[in-house]
A and B are shown apart, each in its own frame.
Chain A
Amino acid sequence: MLMKFWPKETHLNFMSLRMAGLVLSIALLTASAFFLITRGLNFGVDFAGGTAMELNATETVNESTVRAAIPFSADVNAAVGTDARHIVVVKFGEAPEGLLGEEFQALTAEEKVERASGATNELVVRSLKEKLAITDDQILRNDSVGPKVSQELFRDGITALVVALVLMLAYIWYRFEWQFSIGAVAALAHDVIITLGVFSFLQLEFNLTTIAALLTIIGYSMNDTVVVFDRVREEKRKYKKMPDRQVIDLALNSTLSRTLLTSGTTLIALLAIFFLGGPVLRGMSFALIWGIVIGTYSSIFIASSIVLSLGMDLTQKTVDDTPGFQGVE
């Protein structure tokens, strides 16, 4: 029904816009680099260490009483939490050493570094329980991450991203040619950097689920790129004499309705998570929504443009189209 309104064939000259795309991408990449350098990322406790706490708000437990109950200055804000519950969000690093008790002060310097975060957490929980009579169940969430783990989580996250990029590069190289592989990975790096740039510009919290979102963006953007590449290869084989530029435009046009439909359904699903899934999933779904938009753009304007610039040579590979399982009827 809907597809009846879609033109039978589109003839958009995507590749004639590639210079405009290039300029836009370079501008976005430069802006991202600028924000990443000047503002940096707003790391959550996963990567920055320290504590993030959510309290169930009541008449006696609110922003000002919580702030007053904590014996040092912490970042306290009222917010709306999961399932529309009113909450108080408390974030802090380490309390001044003098507040952490004799037992803590007797520790060695190395132990102090490791335990300060946990000891501060205990201090705050104790103060809240004493002064505001908060029960365990009113502490909706209490995450406290020490410096060792936060550094490792960050390192693992970066490793995961790099490994993912390298494996994608290898897979595309195996399935297509090196030009495609470079195009695909450049598009992925482009997506990741610009997404990081947006997180830096908006100062959205960057945590473990954001890394998961980035990896999913990589998977999704790759998915999109592969669909276009498969089509480019097919058209190139069909029309051996046609110039590369036209082949790519043809492939992009014939996959366009699919690209928009799949992006559309995925965006619908993600918007449901963004609006209804609560604050825990909001950062993640925002990254994914942004990633789908940028991923779709990059498979057209980055991946395909790079393949066009590097040229295609399909005479080398005569691998069968179906990776590893020909038995499927």
Chain B
Amino acid sequence: MLQFPFWKVALIVITLIWGVVMALPNVVNMSGAPGFLPKEGVNLGLDLRGGVYLEMEIRPDDVIGGRLEVFARDVRGALARTDSADPVAHLAEVNGRSMTIKLTRADGAGNFPVEDAVARINKVNGPLEGGLAGGKTYDVARAGPDAVLITVPENSENLMMADALAKTETIVRRRVDPDGVAEIAITPSGTSRMVLEAPGEPDPERLKSLLSRDGRMTFNIVDDSPSSIAAAQAGVVKPGYRLLSGPTTGDLLVRSIPEIVGSDIANASQGNDEANRPQINFRLNSNGARKFFETTRANTNKRFAIVLDDVIMSAPNINEPIAGGNVRITGDFTMEEAQDLAAIISAGEMPAKLQFLDQRTVSATLGRDSINAGIQASIIGILLVAGFMVVAYNLLGIFAVISLAANVILIFGGLSGLGATLTLPGIAGIILTIGMAVDANVLVFERIREEQQSGRSLLTAVQAGYERALSTILDANITTLIAAAILYLLGSGPVKGFAATLAIGIVTSVFTAFVVTRWLTVMWIKAFRPKKLSV
């Protein structure tokens, strides 16, 4: 216990130097330092720097229902006969996570060709991307004399959710951070959730409005004859058309089947028109540009509606066939609106609507206030504890205070080195650790005192004090570490920050109290050879 060979001293010194180097960027601006030194201090949590926290979810019912609706189109194709026999007319109905296909026309013998329909549907029922080759995505089964039931087995469901979550994550990122420069963290959690943390963002509503749109962009041919629109407004919509409206166009009838869809768009950006008003420019990919040219050639002098999430953004007249695939939307946009819309259009369509579960915003002002209050509480707390230790234990107390200082440095070094996040409860965790850190010192000092009282010489008393206290110190700290670990695993946000500082603090305080203080004590005894230490 009292021997400190060179390698041990070296290890202690290296650890302390590491702590100082890692902690340094928190107090000194290190931007001009040599490359091997860390430049960044500890990460501050949103509660200390201000920003928006959003927890979002995509619902399995929406994801799977959406997939089934897409599959319904394949089923329609599969059941449409191309030979001379009658096509099997059918009705598809998506009901939550299953789809029922009802056959409506019997064959010549008066039977519904259910088995045939199942076989035809299975031909278009291939494996999912990421699934087993040769596997089937859906379970297709006969359900009665004229019905087929399509359900989604669990492994397909899991793949669909994983795929949808990954796609949603990409789209969310592209929408909120189109240039990839912002410091926004998007973290998926579980099978259907993700958490977005945007430091410095003051307004959650802007993020939410960016993210709550489906982003389904289509170009549809318009029927703007007043009689058809009037009929549709009265409730009689022309077959194959839908009645949509937009802020600048009013009610218009558009063809249900779009000419150009989101996947035809290469990218979109905010630009300015001749009068320097914000507009949205976008470029179609080669396939889209070809379709666009053909459609505009075939529909000259009609109007073309640009529809985003069932709202007509603009419906310009087609004066001539347009080649090249560059399109623009002009309208009454502010710069910010045009930028946001461009980001939504380029990011593409969400696989399912995002639901917002939890939103927390802290302003930068409150963040600064919290840091001030935290620093004030820390400094006063540390000074009081240090003063108390010196008063209680004199010289040993001074050693304990030195190791307490080393402890604070190591906690900050550890937080910075591990990339942990410091939150306001985390600051409380540091102060609490400092209060508790003296425990290991106290346990040892009390032992030394007892051993001295029972008449042992100073060195043997110190030796016995450390030896006897070790098992207690470890037991006591392991139990606290268990609590911190659970808190880290099950906690979120600020509470996680608290757990991280508590855990790091436990490790560093055992090290500083048991190793650093002991080293200091031993060095003192060897240098000054006192007969007794006042404890």
B356 to A, closest residue via Cβ = A118
A145 to B359, CA, bound (A): 6
Given known A160-B491, A167-B486, contact A142–B475 (CB-CB < 8 A)? no
Cβ of A33 under 8 Å from chain B: no
Q: Restricting to B132-172, which residues have a CB under 8 Å from any CB of A?
A: none
B528 to chain A, nearest CB (A): 19
The answer to whether the Cβ of A257 comes within 8 Å of any Cβ in the partner chain is yes
Pairwise interchain contact B202-A136, C-beta atoms closer than 8 A:
yes
- How would residues 356 to 384 of chain B score, 1 for a CB under 8 Å from any chain A CB and 0 otherwise? 11111111111011101110111011101
Complex Cα spacing A220 to B477, Å: 9
What is the interface size of chain A, counting residues whose CB is below 8 A from a CB of the partner?
90
Q: Indicate whether B106 reaches chain A with its CB closer than 8 angstroms.
A: no
In the complex, whether B438 has a CB less than 8 A from a CB of chain A is: yes
A302 at the interface (CB under 8 A from B): no
A224 to B204: give the CA distance in the assembly, Å. 45
**Once the chains bind, are A209 and B472 in contact (CB under 8 Å)?**
no
- CA A203 – CA B257 in complex, angstroms? 60
Q: A267 with B362: in contact, given A2-B391, A208-B491, A281-B424 (CB under 8 Å)?
A: no
Q: Does B323 contact A (CB under 8 A)?
A: no
Chain B residues near A157 (CB-CB < 8 A): 490
A258 in the interface (beta carbon within 8 A):
yes
User: Within the assembled complex, what's the spacing in Å between the Cα atoms of A272 and B474?
Assistant: 27
Residues of chain B lying within 8 A (CB to CB) of residue A261: 392, 438, 442, 446
| A277 partner, pick from B428, B475, B490, beta carbons under 8 A | B428
Residue A59 interfacial (CB < 8 Å): no
Our pick among B380, B425, B483 for the contact of A272 (Cβ within 8 Å) is B380
Q: Within the complex, what minimum Cβ distance (angstroms) separates B449 from chain A?
A: 7
By the criterion CB–CB under 8 Å, are A81 and B369 in contact?
A: yes
Q: Mark A6-48, 1 if CB is under 8 A from B, else 0.
A: 0010000000000000000000000000000000000000000
Which of B123-131, B276-284, B492-500 forms contacts with chain A?
B492-500
Instruction: Please name all residues of chain A whose beta carbon is closer than 8 Å to the beta carbon of B374 when the two chains form the complex.
Output: 277-278
A267 to B495, CA, bound (A): 21
Q: Which residue of B lies closest to A233 (CB)?
A: B471
In the complex, A77 Cα to B56 Cα: how many Å?
A: 30
A278 touches B480 (CB 8 A): no
Instruction: List the A side residues contacting B425 at CB < 8 Å.
Output: 209, 212, 281, 284
Q: Assuming the A-B contacts A136-B202, A212-B487, A268-B381, are A226 and B535 also in contact, with contact meaning beta carbons closer than 8 angstroms in the complex?
A: no
Q: Is B16 among interface residues, defined by CB-CB distance under 8 A?
A: no
User: Given A3-B393, A222-B483, A268-B435, A277–B427 Cβ distance below 8 Å?
Assistant: yes
- Answer yes or no: B502 CB below 8 A from chain A CBs: yes
Residue on A nearest B203 in the bound complex, by CB: A136
Given the complex, which residues of B lie within 8 Å of A99, measured CB to CB? Answer: none
Contact, CB under 8 Å: A156 / B490:
yes
Q: Mark A310-329, 1 if CB is under 8 A from B, else 0.
A: 00000000000111010011
A215 within 8 Å of B (CB atoms):
yes
Contact of B446 among A215, A258, A264, A270 (CB under 8 A): A258
Looking across the interface, which residue of chain B has its beta carbon closest to that of A158? B490
Q: Is the CB of A265 within 8 A of B435?
A: yes
A-side contacts of B366, CB under 8 Å: 54, 81-82, 140-141
Query: At the interface, yes or no: B63 with Cβ under 8 Å from chain A?
Result: no
B470 touches A1 (CB 8 A): no
Say yes or no: A3 contacts B535, CB within 8 Å. yes
Verify B471–A164 contact, CB threshold 8 A.
no
- CB atoms of B483 and A268 under 8 A apart: no
Assembled-state Cα–Cα distance A273/B490 (Å): 24
B364 interface neighbour in A118, A137, A272, Cβ under 8 Å: A137
A276 touches B376 (CB 8 A): yes
- Chain A: interface secondary structure? helix
B333 / chain A contacts, CB cutoff of 8 Å: none
**Closest CB of chain B to A149's CB: distance in Å?**
4
A202 interface hit (Cβ, 8 Å)? no
Q: Is A62 an interface residue (CB 8 A)?
A: no
CB pair B474–A323 under 8 Å, yes or no, is yes
If A212-B487, A258-B443, A272-B384 touch, whether A321 touches B471 (CB-CB below 8 Å) is yes
Contact with B along A115-140 (1 / 0, CB 8 A): 10010011001000000000011111
Q: Check: A266 CB closer than 8 A to any chain B CB.
A: yes
The answer to the question of B330 belonging to the interface, with a C-beta cut-off of 8 Å to chain A, is: no
Contact of B453 among A8, A258, A329 (CB under 8 A): A8
Contact B443 A164 (CB under 8 A): no
Expressed in whole angstroms, the Cα–Cα distance for A168 and B476 within the complex equals 11
Number of interface residues of B (CB under 8 A): 87
Are the CB atoms of B392 and A56 closer together than 8 Å?
A: no
In the complex, B431 has a CB within 8 A of chain A: yes
CA distance A226 to B3 in the complex (A): 28
Beyond A54-B366, A164-B486, A212-B491, whether A226 also contacts B357 by CB under 8 A is no
Nearest B-chain residue to A230, judged by Cβ: B472
Which residues from 201 to 216 on chain A have a C-beta closer than 8 Å to any C-beta of chain B? 208-209, 211-212, 215-216
> B435 to A267, Cβ gap below 8 A?
yes
- The CB with the most chain B CB atoms within 10 A, among A115, A118, A208, A218, is that of A118
Contact A211 B204 (CB under 8 A): no
A269 x B356 contact (CB < 8 A): no
- Asked if A85 and B369 make an inter-chain contact with CB atoms under 8 angstroms apart, the answer reads yes
Across-interface contacts of B205 in A (CB, < 8 A): 122, 125
B residues within 8 A CB of A145? 357-360
Contacts of B382 in A (CB 8 A): 269
- Quick check: B385 and A265 within 8 Å, CB to CB? yes
Q: With an 8 A cutoff between CB atoms, is A237 at the interface?
A: no
Whether B479 sits at the interface, judged by CB under 8 Å, is yes
Question: Contact: A137 with B363, CB < 8 Å?
Answer: yes
Shortest beta-carbon distance, B485 to chain A, in Å? 9
B428, A281: Cβ atoms closer than 8 Å: yes
Q: Is the CB of B479 within 8 A of A322?
A: no
Check B9 for interface membership: any CB of A closer than 8 A: no
CA–CA, A224 to B475, complex, Å?
10
Instruction: Check: A97 CB closer than 8 A to any chain B CB.
Output: no
Q: Which residue of the partner chain A has the closest CB to B431?
A: A269
Give the most central of A111, A157, A278: most B CB within 10 Å: A278
Using known A-B contacts A141-B361, A208-B491, determine if residue A230 contacts B499 with beta carbons closer than 8 Å. Answer: no
Choice from A2, A148, A159, A266 contacting B436 with Cβ under 8 Å:
A266
Q: Report the bound CA distance from A230 to B447 in whole Å.
A: 13
> What residues of chain A have their CB less than 8 Å away from a CB belonging to chain B?
1-4, 8, 54, 56, 81-83, 85, 111, 114-115, 118, 121-122, 125, 136-146, 148-149, 153, 156-157, 159-160, 163-164, 167-168, 171-172, 175, 208-209, 211-212, 215-216, 218-220, 222-224, 226-227, 230-231, 234, 254-255, 257-258, 261-262, 264-270, 272-273, 275-278, 280-281, 284-285, 288, 321-323, 325, 328-329
Listed A/B pairs (15) with beta-carbon separation below 8 Å: A82-B366, A118-B356, A140-B363, A140-B366, A141-B362, A145-B357, A146-B357, A216-B483, A218-B483, A226-B472, A226-B476, A254-B450, A262-B438, A266-B436, A273-B377
Instruction: Known pairs A209-B494, A257-B446; list 13 more (Cβ under 8 Å).
Output: A3-B535, A122-B208, A171-B479, A212-B499, A215-B483, A216-B480, A216-B483, A224-B476, A261-B438, A265-B389, A269-B381, A277-B374, A322-B471
Nearest first, the 7 closest Cβ-Cβ pairs linking A and B are A269-B435, A272-B381, A219-B483, A266-B435, A136-B202, A219-B480, A83-B369
Residues of B participating in the A interface, judged by any CB pair closer than 8 Å: 1, 3, 47, 55, 57, 202-205, 208, 355-366, 368-370, 372-374, 376-378, 380-382, 384-385, 388-389, 391-394, 424-425, 427-428, 431-432, 434-436, 438-439, 442-443, 446, 449-450, 453, 468, 470-472, 474-484, 486-487, 490-495, 498-499, 502, 534-535
